[in-house]
């Protein structure tokens, strides 16, 4: 069903009212009472506490509604795991914890890291020796004791040592070490120096998946943690082929989830798929939604409403004024001291208002609270009238 939310507050218009009345006369519709009027005394009126509202004109947005699903923003999700074989020594975070970029998640021990550290230490020693040798050769060259070729060879040896050191340092950084941790003297204490390292969170976010336990052996294919920044989430929905011409990038949408009835979230379409699902004849769209309070959880089902147009100057009344009665829609209209039952034909509706196609005119006074009691009184009157018949 297509529903349409209001754009503006309903207002009375005599010109539009005349048009509406002429249309009603043209269609042969009778806006008079459709059953015996209900008359209430002052005491009953005060007990029921009736509320009325004038029928007015307003604008209603036209929109497509579709089922959707909340998913994490794929650009703000990080999988954290080792790039070398290791064993978990300690775990510092739990599922659901909020973390900042750089926070330590887990401590690991690795023989492979020990080898890389040894390579790094050897590269440092090799460079130090190469620099000493180069300085010595440079001095001898300046004194015409060694040839230029000998000097160039020592310079090449020094550059190769620098390359080896840079490479071994990068291999350590790839394991997850910070640069400050590589040469930190405090980390050189202990029998397992060179074999331990931390994994850090690469982004601000929430731990939405944890696959790490103390003592567990892990490898480079293992994802120990999934960290997601949920301050903005995506809503993914399937739109029918027939509605494709009515949607576009940056189109406004409303999102509703059953967990928060009555609350509406807003977003803009940023993606429209390029391939059609041949089985369902639908295409996927995605919308980004602000979620700073983290109310929207990935996996939640949602209903989206894509605003595609607007209908202006239509007759609208509060939705609370419309009642169901044996598959027809009715309202109660106050006329003087009486209340009359009107059958109405409705069009677009929202959570708050409904469009009236037939059955009312702008300016009519409809009952918006207490109408259930009026319906009960009407039914009682019918029963009493029927009881008075003799067969």
pLDDT of residue 185: 60
Q: Which two tokens stand for residue 299?
A: 């996996």
Answer for the pair 104, 124: CB distance below 8 angstroms, yes or no. Answer: no
Buried b (16+ CB within 10 A) or exposed e, 280-319: eebbbbbbbbebeeeebebebebbbbbbbebeebbbbbbe
Alpha carbon distance, N-terminus to C-terminus of the chain: 46
Answer for the pair 212, 201: CB distance below 8 angstroms, yes or no. Answer: no
DSSP 184-242: -GGGG-STTTTSEEEEE-SSSEEEEEE---TT-EE-TT---EEEE--SEEEEEEEEEGG
pLDDT of residue 62: 79
pLDDT of residue 46: 66
| pLDDT per residue rounded down to tens, the chain (391 residues) | 444 444 444 444 444 444 444 444 444 444 444 567 787 766 677 677 788 889 989 887 778 889 999 999 999 999 999 999 999 999 999 999 999 999 999 999 999 998 998 999 999 999 999 999 999 999 999 999 989 999 999 999 999 999 999 999 999 988 888 888 887 665 554 445 568 889 999 999 999 999 999 999 999 899 999 999 999 999 999 999 999 999 999 999 999 999 998 899 999 999 999 999 999 999 999 999 999 899 999 999 999 999 887 778 889 888 889 998 888 999 989 888 788 889 999 887 777 888 899 999 899 999 998 888 888 877 776 545 455 555 4
**Rounded-to-integer distance, Cα 175 and Cα 218, Å:** 13
**Rounded-to-integer distance, Cα 207 and Cα 65, Å:** 33
Between helices 111-142 and 148-174, what is the axis angle to 10°?
Answer: 160
For residue 40, the tally of other CB atoms under 10 A from its CB is 18
What Rg value do the Cα atoms of the chain yield, rounded?
A: 38
pLDDT of residue 187: 55
**Rounded-to-integer distance, Cα 67 and Cα 71, Å:** 13
């Amino acid at each position: 069903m297509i529903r349409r939310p209001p754009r503006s507050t309903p207002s009375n218009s005599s010109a539009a009212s005349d048009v509406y009345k002429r249309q009603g006369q043209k269609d042969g519709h009778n806006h008079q009472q459709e059953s015996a009027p209900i008359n209430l005394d002052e005491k009953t009126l005060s007990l029921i506490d009736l509320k009325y509202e004038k029928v007015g004109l307003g604008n209603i947005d036209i929109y497509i509604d579709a089922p959707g699903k909340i998913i994490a923003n794929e650009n703000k999700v990080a999988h954290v795991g080792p790039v070398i074989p290791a064993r978990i020594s300690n775990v510092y975070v739990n599922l659901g914890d909020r973390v900042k970029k750089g926070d330590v998640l887990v401590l690991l021990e690795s023989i492979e890291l020990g080898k890389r550290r040894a390579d790094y230490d050897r590269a440092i020693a090799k460079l130090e020796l190469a620099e000493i040798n180069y300085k010595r050769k440079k001095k001898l060259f300046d004194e015409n004791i060694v040839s230029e070729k000998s000097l160039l060879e020592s310079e090449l040896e020094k550059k190769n040592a620098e390359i080896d050191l840079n490479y071994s340092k990068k291999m350590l950084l790839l394991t997850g070490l910070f640069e400050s941790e590589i040469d930190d003297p405090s980390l050189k204490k202990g029998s397992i120096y060179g074999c331990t390292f931390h994994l850090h969170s690469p982004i601000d976010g929430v731990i939405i998946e944890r696959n790490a336990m103390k003592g567990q052996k892990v490898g480079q294919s293992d994802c120990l943690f999934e960290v997601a920044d949920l301050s903005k989430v995506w809503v993914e929905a399937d739109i029918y082929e027939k509605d494709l011409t009515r949607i576009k990038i940056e189109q406004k949408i409303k999102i509703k989830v059953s967990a928060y009835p009555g609350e509406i979230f807003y977003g803009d379409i940023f993606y429209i798929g390029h391939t059609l699902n041949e089985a369902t004849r639908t295409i996927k769209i995605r919308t980004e939604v602000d979620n700073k309070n983290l109310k929207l959880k990935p996996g939640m089902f949602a209903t989206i409403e894509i605003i595609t147009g607007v209908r202006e100057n239509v007759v609208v009344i509060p939705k609370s004024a419309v009642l169901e009665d044996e598959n027809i829609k009715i309202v109660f209209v106050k006329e003087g001291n009486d209340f009359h039952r009107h059958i109405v034909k409705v069009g677009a509706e929202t959570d708050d208002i409904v469009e009236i196609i037939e059955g009312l005119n702008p300016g009519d006074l409809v009952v918006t609270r207490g109408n259930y009691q009026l319906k009960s009184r009407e039914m009682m009157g019918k029963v009493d009238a029927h009881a008075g018949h003799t067969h």
